[in-house]
Structure 1
Amino acid sequence: MEIIKLIETIGTILIFLATGIVISKRGIVKEKDTKALTDIIIYIAIPALIISEIPKSLEIILIGDLYIVPIISFLFTLIILYFGKGIARQISSIAPHKEDVFALAMAFPNTVFVGLPLMITLYGNKVVGMVFFYDLGVNIVLYSLAISILKNEITSAKKLIKSVVNPPLIAIIIAIILYLLDIELPSLVSNALNMLGDTTIALSLLVVGIIIGSLKINLKIIDRSMIFICFLKLFISGFLMFVIVYKLNIDVLIKKILILEASMPTMVVVSILARTYNRDYRYAAMTVFLTTVLSIITIPIMVTVIEKLI
């Protein structure tokens, strides 16, 4: 991959993030407004993108290779979650009430709101299916084990299904059916879906910027454990995924997406869940902020290494 394209990609992401931060700080868009924007992304833009692009992806990528993505992401996220809990117990600066937040910050990458725009900008719309299949595996762990850990109780099957069966998953099923039955949508519908889907990148990055801008960041609370999270989340996770997929007989592009998604900054939802379940949400918010900011530096490094080794 050309270094100029990589710089342009990161520069584009920075512009959108900075725009989101500025309009948040100036009060043009408030934190409560992100709910409406997020709903537009989840219920309209992303499903439109999936339905318009996944059939094209399946023409390029073997469907059998694509199905292994959620299995790998599920198992990997599960391993990192418990690996994080084990590490948290060994770090003296982490109070017991922060251990679960530490583990979640390590385990759950921002697959969609940062990962999706990055992957599309780097590799084109053909990676949409890969990203959402990866996100499916992550979400199963998030809405089952992660919430169970925070609530100290088992998540019911009904609640898990309700959380996992969301508009993007329904759109994936529709897209696969369209592909398997060789159904071509009317150009009027197809054009509308393409236009709606094209808004996903801009809206996603703006929302992340707005959320970061609304966080009450206190640099004084940065401690050794947060630096440790950044190192583990942005470098070690990606390295571990590289070790897992390097010898697998799957499409090279899928390998790259798996490694990069594992290297994404902490999911914004982690701070929301921490607040919902009365955990240290300030600690969670700070890890989201730090990993997102530092990922601007680490992502080019990871992309360069991946392009040379795979």
Structure 2
Amino acid sequence: MLGVMTQMGALIACGVAWGRLRPGGLRADETRRVLTTLVYYLLLPALVLKVLWTAPLGLVSLKIAAVAGLTVIAALALTALACRLCAPGRATLGAMMLAAAWPNAVYLGLPILDRLFGDAGRAVAIQYDLFGALPLLLTVGVLIARHFGTHDEPVTGPLRGLFAVPSIWAAFVAVVFNVGGVPMPGWLDGWLGFLGHAVTPLMLFSLGLALMFDRFRARAGRALAVVAVVQLLAAPLVALGLALALGLQGVPGIGTVLEAAMPAMVLGIVFCDRFGLDTGLYAAAVTLTTALSLVTLPLWYALLQLLPALQ
């Protein structure tokens, strides 16, 4: 795990350095927007289609989705309770809830689980996000952002929001073909795999481009501490309890807990900008939790290896 995190951290650091040096005169946000658009609309849907078409789907998939959804809800509740200690403003509270509840399940979780467990790990990461965390983000997350935000943005229906995500369509097609027993043509398997191999390095590089080290404020210390504790410690602890209660073992069990232990998702910055939440605090939370996760994730992995019930 330490070797994997070292490799991941090195590629994230390349993204950070690229954003500071600006080769070719491109700003970090411009470069990141191009890369993430490519991943979002082409590469990630290709990977989702390949993985879910051939992955074993069944009761385990429902358990992974249940752990993901319940962990998000628990993290929201814990953050709301903890915020009584730091008494933030509405815009800050909304940003804190988004940062603490939704992990970076795809942009960091998928590459890590892929390196640790291969195809089985990728299947867990994709199911955790698409079947559990993402639907809640586009429904509950949007409602939270609108409630606490300062911008009066119209909210589309939850189904419309879900159907606008290319990976959701790829997952739907993959599940239909998987359940229907449709074999994947060899040429398509190779082509999708070729596209999917680009996802991990581009995601990690884009994550480095998104980190903002100039957004830290002294008065935000308590708020950032709450986010870090909930996201990196409390959420995976909740997920561990749920995984044990539901009987998840092996890669699904360990992978699900590791997904819950990921740092704050980068996508939340978009929600903060759109709805008028505290974007600076959210960006600082992403940077802080990502840096801390380079230490906490190996510790969680080592702990999970010691639990016979998960093996």
Q: TM-score, normalised by structure 2?
A: 0.89
Provide the residue aligned with 1:131 in structure 2: 125
Shift of 1:178: 2.4
In structure 2, C-alpha distance between the alignment counterparts of 1:34 and 1:102, rounded to whole Å: 23
Instruction: Give 5+ residue unaligned stretches, structure 2.
Output: none
Change (3 A) 1:140 1:46: same
Cα deviations across residues 100-136 of structure 1 (Å, max 9, x unaligned)?
2112211010010011001111111222232122112
Counterparts of 1:257 and 1:223, CA distance in 2:
30
What 5-or-longer segments of structure 1 have no aligned partner? 1-5
Aligned residues: 300
The answer to whether the 8 Å contact 2:51/2:119 transfers is: yes
Q: Of 138, 160, 163, which residue of structure 2 is paired with 1:162? A: 160
| Equivalent residue number for residue 12 of structure 1 | 7
- Equivalent in the alignment of 1:122: 116
Partner of 1:90: 85
Quote the Cα distance in structure 2 between the aligned partners of 1:156 and 1:257: 36
Q: In the TM superposition, what are the counterparts of 1:17-32 in structure 2 within 5 Å?
A: 17-28=12-23, 29-30=26-27, 31-32=29-30
How far off is 1:306 after superposition? 0.7
Would you say the 8 A contact 1:145–1:155 is kept in 2? Answer: no
Note closer, same or farther for the CA distance 1:236–1:129 as it changes in structure 2 (3 Å cut). same
1:203 positional shift: 0.7
Equivalent-residue separation in structure 2 for 1:145 and 1:52 (angstroms): 29
Contact 1:120–1:127 (CA<8 Å) still a contact in 2?
Answer: yes
Task: Return the offset for 1:266.
Answer: 0.5
**TM-score for the superposition, normalised by structure 1:** 0.89
Identity %: 20
Asked whether the 8 Å contact 1:264–1:295 carries over to 2, the reply is: yes
Conserved in 1, the CA contact under 8 Å of 2:8 and 2:204? yes
Structure 1 residue 12, shift from structure 2 partner: 1.1
- 1:152-195 deviation digits (Å, cap 9, x = unpaired): 29999953112222211211222222223333333222211111
Cα contact 1:147–1:155 (8 A) shared by 2: no
Aligned to 1:172: 171
Distance 1:157 1:74 in 2: 21
Work out whether 1:150 is the aligned partner of 2:145.
yes
1:256-267 matches, within 5 Å, as 256-267=254-265
CA RMSD for the aligned pairs?
2.2
TM-aligned CA deviation for residue 280 of structure 1:
1.4
Change in CA separation of 1:191 and 1:71 when aligned onto 2, cut-off 3 Å: same
Classify 1:244/1:188 alpha carbon distance in 2 versus 1 (closer, same or farther; 3 Å).
closer
Partner Cα separation in structure 2 for residue 274 and residue 46 of structure 1:
24
How far apart are the structure 2 equivalents of 1:35 and 1:285? 16
CA–CA distance in structure 1, aligned partners of residues 85 and 222 of structure 2: 12
Q: 1:10: how far off?
A: 0.6
CA distance in 2, matches of 1:195, 1:97: 42
Q: Which amino acid in the other structure matches residue 126 of structure 1? A: A
Following superposition, the deviation at residue 222 of structure 1 comes to: 4.9
For the residue of structure 2 that corresponds to 1:66, the secondary structure is: helix
Which amino acid in 2 is paired with 1:254? P
Q: Alpha carbons of 1:243 and 1:184: their partners in 2 closer, same or farther (altered >3 Å)?
A: same
CA distance in 2 between counterparts of 1:182 and 1:139 reads: 26
The DSSP-based 3-state class of the residue aligned with 1:266 is coil
| Structure 1 match to 2:305 | 307
Could you list the structure 1 runs, at least 4 aligned residues long, displaced by more than 4 angstroms after superposition: 153-158, 219-222
Q: Partners in 2 of 1:285 and 1:250 — Cα distance?
A: 33
Q: What residue number does 1:3 align with?
A: none
Deviates more, 1:290-299 or 1:154-163: 154-163
